[in-house]
Structure 1
Amino acid sequence: MLQPLLHDLVSTVMAPASALSDADGQIRPAGVQGLFCADRRVLSQARLLVDGREPESIGYAPGAAGQARFVSLTRWLGDPTTDPTVRIERSRELSPFGMGEQVEIVSTASSPVTATVTVELACDFAAVEAVKSGRSGTPVPAGEAGDGRLTWHADTTRVTVTGHGAHATAGDGARLRWEVSLPPRGRATLRWELAVEDPTAVVVPPNATLEWSPPHVTAGDRRVTRLLDQSLEDLRSLRLAEPGEPGDAFLAAGAPWFLTLFGRDSIWAARMLLPLGTRLAAGTLRVLARRQGRRLDPDSGEAPGKIMHELRRDAFDLDDKGGRLPAAYYGTIDATPLWISLLHDAWRWGLPDSEVRALLPNLQAALGWLADHADPDGDGFLEYIDSSGRGLANQGWKDSGDSVRFHDGRQAEPPIALAEVQGYAHQAALHGAALLDAFDLPGGDRWRDYAGALAERFRAAFWVDGPHGPFPALALDRDKRPVNSLTSNIGHLLGTGLLSREESAQVAGLLAAPGMAEAFGLRTMSSEEGGFSPLSYHCGSVWPHDTAIVIAGLAREGFDEQATTLAEGLLAAAESFGYRLPELFAGDARDLVGRPVAYPAACRPQAWSAAAAVVIAHAAAGLYPDVPAGRVELRPLSGAPLGALAAGLRVADAEVEVRVDHDGAATVKGLPAGLRLEEAVTPSSPRP
């Protein structure tokens, strides 16, 4: 069966709950529409009727986190004039385990108005993976609890709907009904609420205190602030914690399919938000450390020291071809080195030594996985293969089954060694060595030697020739042949230290060439490759987080022009998507389509897509702290491409203001005591 489309639906989220409706606010019993909570659909219909008819929609607008407002008309009511005189204002607000709606009937008519308002309700308790695969559950009859209340039960989950002042009808045709009488120019307010009791949920809302500080950004390019405002609201709606540990928050990957802990996604989102504080990173690190692998299990992919990929309530059916992930799944090749680098980067941004020290045993275990389990064939590269036959065939961030392709479009056979993963491992080894040295633990020299040897092996095995010069291949296949397609993966190598200055310049130039950068951001695969399609999930689309990671690497290495080009593409896309960047969108050329084309099954909001806004603002400000060393570097993007900018970032739990004027000159105020400012020198390198 086909996966339901998402791009035209309105998504309202307050994790672990998410509601998907049509643009008129109606939740219809079709496709993916409904209210989901902790991997179950707890409401499959919520259809508002006035006198048995659906109001006519005229617009909707998202509000703060977890809120949306829909406006419609009932033109058969009120005065018989050209102008409508009765409108319906439907305000939706989600809580982590529930949803409430306020329905206001507003009349400007000169005569009284009477109407019968009903809300038709249904619940099927369908598992989220079933809905994702195009299936649905069997509706469960509602029970009546009195006083305008209806209930549904499944296993340990209980759903209760309360209609204040409503008459409730139970059974298969569950509904709430109100009789409304309005005087001339009158108004009536109706309200109904849904609450979920779910003691077996594996994710819960965190403490109320937000883990990051608003960055207080102003910019000459107003798109930056609009994108930040919407993105931070979306990120606030994606916060989660584990039961029993509400103080350790992490970000769910995205709505509606991934409102849970995802190792790679949660790590990257926390890493991108480090300029706003270290508390989110600390919570993410601790949550994943508690679930760090302890044994070898080919079915789940678990191994000692390995960081997990995905957490679910129950085993998760990937598709109708037998793919099935266990509830706790470890099938990821990159989450472990990324966890190491998140710990290191949080330390550099000011995570207290006591919190870092508590995680050092987990750091040593993660390095142990890197040494003992990440390279099963002993060729010196990190590689993966799904030995269970039921898990993910590809276990990097491009985890679709067809994402690793040669230049001619052929798919590579596993085991697969991805290019960017070697960069992550190189950086993790250096980061791990720095932490071991700083906390008087042995092994630093071993990991520096590991990084140096890996860089030499990578240089010899991955670099291939292409029509525009040499470049790193996407991967090595099972026969150690370079998978010779040009992809965005190589952009993740920037800033990892794996490349020389000349190699970085070559990569930067290729990423900024039209085949990669002529869309609204960075394409996942060059348009010159045989496997390219602008609507391929991983072979030609644009992923905002992918583009943001490359922007950060380009900016850090001094390739400001290329970073600016990609940032401009994302800002243009954000404007088109109402400043809520989706998981991905089509990789069509900008001069061909004028505005980005939606990928029809993209999740929105998505944590690392929203976090891309922080990456853009941070790259423009150019503040790079090293709190343990007592220094802060300042190197904003040259030429102030976003116009004059002011950003209140957070270093060592203190607000630090960076100002960049129209000419690109930068100043800093509010550095904590003990930190000295160093103006970073742009690294000299050949032009791409």
Structure 2
Amino acid sequence: MMNTLLSFEETPAVSQSPPEPSFQKLFVLMEDDTFLVVDAFGDLNGHDDGLFHHDTRILSCYHLFLANQRPSLLSATVSQDNVYAISHLTNHPLPLLGDTFTPQGALHIERKKLLWGSRMFERIRFFNYSDQAVTVPLGLHFSGDFRDMFEVRGQQRPMRGTQDAPDINEWSATLRYYGLDKQQRCMALSFSEAPLSLDGSQATFEFEVGAHAPYELYIEVGMQPIQASRVRFRRSAAKARWAMRKKQRSGAHIKASGRLFQGWLDKSRADLALLTSELPTGPYPYAGVPWYSTPFGRDAIITAYQLLWLNPQLARGVLAYLALHQAKEVSTFRDAEPGKIMHETRKGEMSSLNELPFSRYYGGVDTTPLFVLLAGAYAKRTGDMAFIEELWPALERAAQWIEGNASKNPDGFLSYARGEESGLANQGWKDSHDSIFHADGSSPEGPIALVEVQGYAYRAYLSMAELAETREDRQAAQHWQQRAEALQEAVERCFWLEDKHFYALALDGNGKPCAVNASNVGHLLFTGLPAPKRGKLAAQQLLERSFDSGWGIRTVVAGSARFNPMSYHNGSIWPHDVALCAAGIARYGEHTGSVHLLAGIFEAAAHFGMRLPELFCGFDRAPSEAPTAYPVACLPQAWAAGSVFMLLQACLGINIDAQQCLITITAPQMPTGIDRLEVRHITFGEHCIDITFQRIGSRVTAYVERQEGPHPVKVDLRL
């Protein structure tokens, strides 16, 4: 049988150049400290994509060419379990040679990638659907720039390390970079068969694919060269899939009557499994890909709280890790003080060299009270006082830091001011430089006291009081209770804006309110600090059109001095922020408002392929239009993926108290379009219980489907 042969040319004539990053869809895989961001073709283009390990991009460009042409794209996806990134491609018409030629679409090319053991595995499978064999010239162009994550994000460096000449052998090419931190970083590209030619930037192959027959090539990218093979690919794929299934099986599960809503729940759970790394201290959700694929304090605490009612083991892992990395000394460069909880940690060259303070950075004023708040909530959810005893020294140090910080303010408020110019100017969850402002748009002088941080501190004081009471330390319990009550009184006195019937965003260093209506107040409601009447007034305003775009609550009210729906923090919509607001709104009796917010976020998720981004633009919802994406949002992001579970808990009104062996369900509401919802395998201690929520006419009721344990769990249903 005759072969069709397409020869290599001297210079690639690329028919389809890689698109600019803002116009292409990117696909993400992650495994512990390694993550991959590729385009739909399965290529890396050296923009915001790449293969990263420990905050360093080891593979920056990676392009597949057939006869010096980029193949034609059919489709691309990430598997439902987030293990594989798959691209389906086909050939362009192959040039006429003699009396034969291969028409377009004769070859199906499937590129399937996965990550395991800090390595990227790829299988490139060809299937020839034509009636004659085809000899295919394949080219792979590659490079590794070994740029630090902050360089990829745009940070300029006056000097960089050096790269050696590539080390080439029969079936692999190894690139090495020697950083200014004296560390060697490597990228080895290995093949299952020897290329026709191989150098430090290109591998070429020429192989025959028989008529109606397959052909497979295996590639690995890692720190060391190891000859790729079908066996290694299959073995690593099996391990990766097993590990992902194990993470997804952890905790209680939800089954909803609506298929689309169930799809959102399943995708969110899969994304959380993708982002969760098994550290020596337990499971820990990394913040998001690509920019925040590392342990963050605030993000992990909030994510763990979102999942606490379903999977308390995540909270345990977060608390253990953060306690281990609690600050022990003063560093203005790192904004560290004894007892403070970490904001983020990085492992790249720039952090190692202290070009930036983020190797372990403590510039978050809210992370420490959130740490204590989560510990108190974990104890109530699980009754696991043995773990709290292990954690107690770290909790005492954290509480002492909160008190010490508050003592610097005449009213006892927690406040922040960065130690050095290299640190974050704003140190709450809205940490962009322009996110905190006065009503006239001017920037406040520090130290700044944020409204939601006072709520976190209030709840931290109460948590310490409750834990101390459980430990039978009544004197300590009374002390923390008094601190909580004093802080509550001060917030009501200083933050409440009577003319607005709302709380101020912040107080500046002179005690002047930043009289801006912001979603931060929803977090204050979540903590339960406001008096009932004021809390209800604030909750009602959060549901008004100036806040609620129809897709969710904006970070600041429309019409504010710095309002911009396309900004990062001044008018955009953050799903985790909406979830915290919904929990606060439900706490003050606006249960239908929580259902409304869940519906809007669910409909937004449907437009984003059931994967909520870190944030999206805060434009008003218009008929027949989708929400507007924020171009550089992390996707997936842990607290965005976790938002559905917090929103659902707010609607169901479910609260689990293992210490009292009690489950309370208050004024349950169901998501729009859902008539039946089951929460299976809620566990604490030796107890396991299944609860079903059922819509009956205009009412929602709940009942116990099954329970196991040494004695019955009390379920208090308050309709």
Q: Could you say which residue in structure 1 is the equivalent of 2:89? A: 72
Q: Does structure 1 conserve the Cα–Cα contact (< 8 Å) formed by 2:93 and 2:102?
A: no
Q: Tell me by how many angstroms 1:59 deviates.
A: 1.3
Of 308, 315, 318 in structure 2, the residue corresponding to residue 284 of structure 1 is 318
1:298-309 aligned within 5 A: 298-309=332-343
1:186 and 2:213 correspond: yes
Q: Alpha carbons of 1:276 and 1:639: their partners in 2 closer, same or farther (altered >3 Å)? A: closer
Q: Alpha carbons of 1:147 and 1:557: their partners in 2 closer, same or farther (altered >3 Å)? A: farther
1:513 and 2:513 correspond: no
Q: Alpha carbons of 1:649 and 1:400: their partners in 2 closer, same or farther (altered >3 Å)? A: farther
Bigger Cα displacement from structure 2, 508-517 vs 292-301? 292-301
Counterpart of 1:89 in 2: which secondary structure?
Answer: strand
Q: Could you say which residue in structure 2 is the equivalent of 1:251? A: 285
Counterpart of 2:537 in 1: which secondary structure?
Answer: helix
Of 25, 30, 34 in structure 2, the residue corresponding to residue 17 of structure 1 is 34
Q: Could you say which residue in structure 2 is the equivalent of 1:479? A: 510
Q: Tell me by how many angstroms 1:400 deviates.
A: 0.4
Q: Alpha carbons of 1:353 and 1:410: their partners in 2 closer, same or farther (altered >3 Å)? A: same
* Distance in 1 of aligned mates of 2:676 and 2:347: 47
Q: Could you say which residue in structure 1 is the equivalent of 2:400? A: 368
Q: Could you say which residue in structure 1 is the equivalent of 2:134? A: 113
Q: Alpha carbons of 1:659 and 1:16: their partners in 2 closer, same or farther (altered >3 Å)? A: same
Counterpart of 1:343 in 2: which secondary structure?
Answer: helix
Query: C-alpha deviations, 1:394-453, integer Å up to 9, x for none?
Result: 000000000012233222222110000000011111111100110123411111111111
The AA in structure 2 aligned to 1:436 is: A
The AA in structure 1 aligned to 2:317 is: G
Q: Could you say which residue in structure 2 is the equivalent of 1:93? A: 114
Counterpart of 2:423 in 1: which secondary structure?
Answer: coil
Q: Could you say which residue in structure 1 is the equivalent of 2:294? A: 260
1:81-480 aligned within 5 A: 84-95=105-116, 97-133=118-154, 140=163, 143-154=166-177, 155-167=183-195, 169=197, 171-172=199-200, 174-196=201-223, 210=247, 213=250, 215-241=252-278, 245=280, 247-313=281-347, 324-350=356-382, 352-441=384-473, 442-465=475-498, 469-480=500-511
Counterpart of 1:528 in 2: which secondary structure?
Answer: coil
Q: Tell me by how many angstroms 1:189 deviates.
A: 1.2
Q: Could you say which residue in structure 2 is the equivalent of 1:665? A: 701
Q: Alpha carbons of 1:675 and 1:482: their partners in 2 closer, same or farther (altered >3 Å)? A: farther
1:62 and 2:78 correspond: yes
Q: Tell me by how many angstroms 1:249 deviates.
A: 2.2
Bigger Cα displacement from structure 2, 377-386 vs 449-458? 377-386
* Distance in 1 of aligned mates of 2:649 and 2:710: 22
The AA in structure 2 aligned to 1:617 is: L
Counterpart of 1:628 in 2: which secondary structure?
Answer: coil
The AA in structure 2 aligned to 1:72 is: L
1:602-681 aligned within 5 A: 602-635=633-666, 637-638=668-669, 641=672, 642-652=674-684, 654-663=687-696, 664-668=700-704, 669-670=706-707, 672-674=709-711, 676-681=713-718
Q: Tell me by how many angstroms 1:478 deviates.
A: 1.6
Counterpart of 1:525 in 2: which secondary structure?
Answer: coil
Query: C-alpha deviations, 1:244-297, integer Å up to 9, x for none?
Result: x2x522111111111111110111111111123222111111111011122222
* Distance in 2 of aligned mates of 1:585 and 1:350: 35
Q: Does structure 2 conserve the Cα–Cα contact (< 8 Å) formed by 1:224 and 1:617?
A: no
Counterpart of 1:167 in 2: which secondary structure?
Answer: coil
* Distance in 1 of aligned mates of 2:667 and 2:101: 61
Q: Does structure 2 conserve the Cα–Cα contact (< 8 Å) formed by 1:143 and 1:152?
A: yes
Bigger Cα displacement from structure 2, 12-21 vs 250-259? 12-21
Q: Alpha carbons of 1:144 and 1:264: their partners in 2 closer, same or farther (altered >3 Å)? A: same
Gaps (5+ residues) in structure 2? 1-19, 178-182, 226-239
1:534-545 aligned within 5 A: 534-545=565-576
Of 537, 557, 580 in structure 2, the residue corresponding to residue 526 of structure 1 is 557
Q: Alpha carbons of 1:434 and 1:15: their partners in 2 closer, same or farther (altered >3 Å)? A: same
Q: Alpha carbons of 1:562 and 1:218: their partners in 2 closer, same or farther (altered >3 Å)? A: same
1:10-49 aligned within 5 A: 10-29=27-46, 31-49=47-65
Query: C-alpha deviations, 1:378-404, integer Å up to 9, x for none?
Result: 431110001312200000000000001
Counterpart of 1:614 in 2: which secondary structure?
Answer: helix
The AA in structure 1 aligned to 2:60 is: S
* Distance in 2 of aligned mates of 1:348 and 1:94: 37
Q: Does structure 2 conserve the Cα–Cα contact (< 8 Å) formed by 1:634 and 1:677?
A: no
* Distance in 1 of aligned mates of 2:629 and 2:167: 42
Q: Alpha carbons of 1:547 and 1:5: their partners in 2 closer, same or farther (altered >3 Å)? A: same
Greater C-alpha radius of gyration = 2
Counterpart of 1:566 in 2: which secondary structure?
Answer: helix
* Distance in 2 of aligned mates of 1:675 and 1:336: 37
The AA in structure 1 aligned to 2:145 is: D
The AA in structure 2 aligned to 1:160 is: A
Q: Does structure 1 conserve the Cα–Cα contact (< 8 Å) formed by 2:91 and 2:104?
A: no
Bigger Cα displacement from structure 2, 367-376 vs 330-339? 367-376
Bigger Cα displacement from structure 2, 87-96 vs 253-262? 87-96
Q: Does structure 1 conserve the Cα–Cα contact (< 8 Å) formed by 2:196 and 2:206?
A: no
Q: Could you say which residue in structure 1 is the equivalent of 2:594? A: 563
Q: Does structure 2 conserve the Cα–Cα contact (< 8 Å) formed by 1:293 and 1:305?
A: yes
Q: Alpha carbons of 1:195 and 1:646: their partners in 2 closer, same or farther (altered >3 Å)? A: same
* Distance in 1 of aligned mates of 2:346 and 2:23: 22
* Distance in 1 of aligned mates of 2:694 and 2:358: 52
Counterpart of 1:240 in 2: which secondary structure?
Answer: strand
Q: Tell me by how many angstroms 1:621 deviates.
A: 3.8
Q: Alpha carbons of 1:169 and 1:111: their partners in 2 closer, same or farther (altered >3 Å)? A: closer
The AA in structure 2 aligned to 1:103 is: I
Counterpart of 1:554 in 2: which secondary structure?
Answer: helix
Q: Does structure 1 conserve the Cα–Cα contact (< 8 Å) formed by 2:55 and 2:348?
A: no
* Distance in 2 of aligned mates of 1:254 and 1:264: 13
Q: Does structure 1 conserve the Cα–Cα contact (< 8 Å) formed by 2:448 and 2:506?
A: yes
Higher relative CO (CA 8 A, sep ≥ 6), structure 1 or 2?
A: 1
Q: Tell me by how many angstroms 1:96 deviates.
A: 5.1
Q: Could you say which residue in structure 2 is the equivalent of 1:584? A: 615
Bigger Cα displacement from structure 2, 56-65 vs 615-624? 615-624
Q: Does structure 2 conserve the Cα–Cα contact (< 8 Å) formed by 1:623 and 1:633?
A: yes
* Distance in 1 of aligned mates of 2:416 and 2:24: 33
The AA in structure 2 aligned to 1:149 is: S
Counterpart of 2:317 in 1: which secondary structure?
Answer: helix
Gaps (5+ residues) in structure 1? 199-204, 683-688
Q: Tell me by how many angstroms 1:617 deviates.
A: 3.3
Q: Does structure 1 conserve the Cα–Cα contact (< 8 Å) formed by 2:65 and 2:140?
A: yes
Counterpart of 1:586 in 2: which secondary structure?
Answer: coil
* Distance in 2 of aligned mates of 1:376 and 1:4: 47
Q: Could you say which residue in structure 2 is the equivalent of 1:201? A: none
* Distance in 2 of aligned mates of 1:553 and 1:148: 59
Q: Tell me by how many angstroms 1:315 deviates.
A: 7.4
Question: TM-score, normalised on structure 1?
Answer: 0.91
Counterpart of 1:427 in 2: which secondary structure?
Answer: helix
Matched residues, number: 664
Query: C-alpha deviations, 1:489-511, integer Å up to 9, x for none?
Result: 00001231211111121111011
* Distance in 1 of aligned mates of 2:39 and 2:611: 17
Q: Tell me by how many angstroms 1:39 deviates.
A: 0.4
Q: Tell me by how many angstroms 1:82 deviates.
A: 8.3
Q: Tell me by how many angstroms 1:539 deviates.
A: 0.5
* Distance in 2 of aligned mates of 1:253 and 1:96: 20
